Structure 1
Amino acid sequence: MPQKQVQDLPSEVKEQLADGSEQIFLAALSSAQDNGMDEQAAMNVAWNSVKEYYDQGSDGKWHRKPEEKNIHHKAVQSGGN
């Protein structure tokens, strides 16, 4: 059954997630389950989503990656054809 709230996640998952990573995990897990994935595949998708923005620390918890200062998210326009 898909988890729809952070408190519905298994305790071993909640213990590792912190400061916003819970919402990323939950959103990815719910989306994967809604798309028909089984629970294990959905969990893999959710962990991969967390890994995109968080690193696992020596304490076993996930901490937000520092922002890269030289990266900007502006669109690059081409000269066209």
Structure 2
Amino acid sequence: MPYKTDQDLPEKVKGNLPKHGQHIYREAFNHAYDEYQDPTKRRNSNDDPEKIAHQVAWAAVKHKYEKGEDGKWQEK
């Protein structure tokens, strides 16, 4: 389900991403979640829209952030 605030994000996201990264994640997730509710917009109509939305959200974060050698997410 879509996230209303960054505080609602999964702990894996909140505990790893900086605030701006969390915002990117939430916005991308919510958009993808809405978009992929329609089975005709999924590659496989049986795929779970929430799983797809998480994949899209991480991909969006990776455009702006990367994991450093210390394992922490940092801006590129």
What interval of TM-score do these two structures reach, taking the shorter chain for normalisation?
0.7 to 0.9
| More helix as a share of residues | 2
Aligned twin of 2:42: none
Bigger relative contact order, structure 1 or 2, given CA contacts below 8 A and separation 6+? Answer: 2
Provide TM-score, normalisation by structure 2. 0.76
Provide TM-score, normalisation by structure 1. 0.72
Question: CA shift at 1:25, angstroms?
Answer: 0.6
Aligned: 1:29 with 2:40: no
Where does 1:1-81 land on structure 2 (aligned, <5 Å)? 1-37=1-37, 38-65=49-76
* Unaligned 5+ runs, structure 2: 38-48
Root-mean-square deviation over aligned CA pairs: 1.4
* Unaligned 5+ runs, structure 1: 66-81
Give 1 or 2 for the bigger CA radius of gyration. 1
Query: How many residues are treated as equivalent by the alignment?
Result: 65
